[in-house]
Amino acid sequence: MSILSETDKQIILDSIRDIPDFPKPGIIFKDITTLLSNPKALNTLMSHLEERYKSYDLDYIAGIDARGFIFGSILADRLGLGFVTIRKKGKLPYTTVAEKYSLEYGFDEVEVHIDAFGDTKDARVLLIDDLIATGGTATAAASLINKVGAVCVEACFVMELDFLNGKKTIDAPVYSVLHID
């Protein structure tokens, strides 16, 4: 299993821009667009994830709408695997399975195609997204993977907001490249 060096962690962290008071006062938004536009930082991240997951015997990578699509599709390509989208309700064109999750003021839902993992019985799936905060979306996504007959072997995040303890809600091991206090 690959361990990211402190130097490489710093390359990735330095490429992520902080936006104070977005989307509301008191929030410091972690903007990954600067990571995506930095070839050295993006390659450092993706090479690390490729090295980490190449021995996991995965069948698919599943990415959460929308930033998980970016990292997940790059990783799926590097590992020679299929990529599956987990989307907000109403965005997928075929028969889906949905999972609700709590928000600060209400609920939201994510969906996956009922046949997303093909005929692979107990397909081994890595779930990926850019950030885990409270864990609601990721928990729902991991549950969806299991609901359609696959196995979420791990949930991976570029960043984890440790002070929110979101990983405790996910019924799968969690790996985060960067930890934000």
Rounded CA gap, 99 and 56, in Å?
26
**For the chain, how long is the longest CA-to-CA vector?**
47
DSSP 94: S
Kindly report the average pLDDT of the chain as a whole number. Answer: 96
Catalytic residues: 67, 104
Rounded CA gap, 2 and 158, in Å?
15
> pTM for this one?
0.96
CA angle in degrees (0–180, nearest 5) for 177-26-155? 25
61 falls in which pLDDT band (50, 70, 90)?
very high
CATH for 57-180, options being 3.90.1170.50, 3.40.50.2020, 3.40.50.970, 3.30.930.10: 3.40.50.2020
Say what the pLDDT of residue 103 is. 78
Strand partners, 60: 82, 125
CA distances for 171 relative to 108, 109, 139, 140, angstroms: 19, 18, 7, 10
**For residues 25-46, average pLDDT:** 96
